[in-house]
């Protein structure tokens, strides 16, 4: 996908757990982005060796064949990623992280979503996710599609039903065919 502002190609790839784990730099960069984005909620110790090791243990060493990460790269720099699973016809978005300098980068956000949806198009009928209460921008972007929302102590769990998911998938398919 070409970033029209700079005419530089942005690349999007889907990785399995084993692929991320086998590339230590990739795993470390994903953790760096999470730490940078989430430290305001959970403190500076998120980047400790112990916490980084725990993230790898919980995310990459679970041998979950449904686990995937879409990674957006521009000029060799990882700008964002989505960690998701597809189980029982439900696409669950577990992490949606974008580096702070590219938070409003439409090409990056749409490119990652489009890559994920195209890669899993026939595998899911509903979408599930969670948004932190302090993440107002994501609430504006994603909760409007929700057909069911439940509030938790720190955020909102939401589901997009089959009908709305079908519309979202079709919109991305049309975009892909342009």
Strand order in the sheet with 90-98: 2-3, 8-15, 67-74, 77-87, 90-98, 126-132, 155-160, 148-151
What is the structure's pLDDT at 55? 84
**pLDDT (tens digit per residue) in 18-27:** 999 999 799 9
The mean-pLDDT minimum among 70-79, 83-92, 100-109 falls in 100-109
Name the residue with higher pLDDT: 12 or 56. 12
What is the structure's pLDDT at 96? 95
Structural domains of the chain in order of their starting residue, each with its CATH number: 2-176 (3.40.630.30)
What is the structure's pLDDT at 80? 97
pLDDT over 90 (residue 115): yes
What is the structure's pLDDT at 56? 87
Query: What average pLDDT does this structure show over 117-125?
Result: 97
């Amino acid at each position: 996908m070409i970033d029209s502002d700079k005419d530089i190609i942005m690349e999007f790839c889907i990785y399995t757990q084993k692929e991320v784990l086998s590339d230590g730099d990739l795993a470390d960069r994903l953790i760096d982005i999470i730490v940078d984005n989430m430290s305001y909620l959970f403190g500076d110790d998120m980047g400790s060796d112990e916490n980084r090791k725990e993230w790898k243990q919980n995310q990459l060493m679970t041998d979950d064949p449904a686990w995937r990460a879409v990674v957006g790269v521009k000029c060799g720099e990882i700008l964002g990623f989505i960690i998701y699973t597809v189980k029982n016809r439900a696409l669950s978005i577990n992490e949606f992280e974008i580096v702070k300098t590219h938070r409003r980068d439409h090409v990056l956000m749409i490119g990652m979503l489009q890559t994920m949806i195209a890669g899993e198009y026939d595998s899911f009928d509903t979408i599930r996710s969670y948004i932190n209460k302090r993440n107002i921008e994501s609430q504006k972007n994603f909760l409007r599609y929700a057909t069911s929302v439940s509030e938790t102590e720190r955020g909102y769990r939401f589901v997009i039903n089959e009908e709305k998911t079908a519309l979202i998938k079709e919109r991305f398919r049309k975009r892909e065919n342009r």
